[in-house]
Amino acid sequence: MIKFTSYAKCIKFLFGLERAEIKYDLKNIRALLKSCGNPERKFKSIHIAGTNGKGSVASMVYSVLTESGINAGLYTSPHITDFRERILINGEMISRKFVMDFTNRNLRLIEKIKPSFFEVNTAMAFEYFAEKEVDIAVIEAGLGGRLDSTNVIKPVVSVITGIAIDHTEYLGNTIESIASEKAGIIKKKIPCIAGLMEKKALNVIKRKCGKDSSKFYYAENLWNIKRKKITDEYTEYRVSRKRQGSEIINIEFPVSGKYQQYNIKTAFTALDIIGIEAGITFSEDNIQSGIRNIKINSKFFGRFQKVSDSPGTVIDVSHNVQGIKNIRENLKSCRYNKLYIIFGMMKDKEYEKCIRELEKLDAEIILTKPGYKRAEEPEVLFSKAGKKEKFSISENIKAAVKYLEKNAGKGDMILITGSFYLVSDFVKLKSIHL
**pLDDT tens string for the chain (434 positions)?**
678 999 999 999 999 998 755 666 899 999 999 999 999 999 999 999 998 899 999 999 999 999 999 999 999 999 999 999 999 999 999 999 999 999 999 999 999 999 999 999 999 999 999 999 999 999 999 987 899 999 999 999 999 998 876 544 445 568 898 999 999 999 999 999 999 999 999 999 999 999 999 999 999 999 999 999 887 778 999 999 998 667 889 999 998 777 899 999 999 999 999 999 999 999 999 999 999 999 999 999 999 999 999 899 999 999 889 889 989 988 988 899 999 999 999 998 889 999 999 999 999 999 999 998 889 999 999 999 999 999 999 999 999 999 999 999 999 999 999 999 999 999 999 999 88
Per-position DSSP letters for 258-290, written without gaps between them: TTHHHHHHHHHHHHHHHHHHHT----HHHHHHH
**Other beta carbons within 10 Å of 381:** 24
- Give CA–CA dist 253/316, Å, rounded: 16
Query: Cis peptide before 39, with omega less than 30 degrees from 0?
Result: no
Q: What is the pLDDT of residue 280?
A: 92
β-bridge pairing 87-89 and 157-160:
unpaired
Task: Write down all domains in the chain, each with its CATH number in brackets.
Answer: 7-298 (3.40.1190.10), 306-429 (3.90.190.20)
Q: What is the pLDDT of residue 330?
A: 87
Residue 62 in contact with residue 72, Cβ under 8 Å?
yes
Residue 86 in contact with residue 77, Cβ under 8 Å?
yes
- Give CA–CA dist 87/79, Å, rounded: 10
Report the alpha-carbon angle 55-57-61, nearest 5: 120
* CB neighbour class for 104 (10 Å; exposed up to 12, middle 13-18, buried from 19): middle
DSSP 223: E
Look up the pTM and report it.
0.92
Report CA 41 to chain centroid distance, whole Å: 24
- Give CA–CA dist 304/263, Å, rounded: 15
Residue 326 in contact with residue 259, Cβ under 8 Å?
yes
Q: What is the pLDDT of residue 170?
A: 47
Report CA 222 to chain centroid distance, whole Å: 24
Q: Which residues pair with 248 in a beta bridge?
A: 240
Detail the DSSP E strand segments found in 135-247.
136-140, 157-160, 192-194, 216-218, 223-230, 235-241
Residues 325-338: b if buried by 16+ CB within 10 A, e if exposed: bbbeebbeeeebee
Report CA 257 to chain centroid distance, whole Å: 15
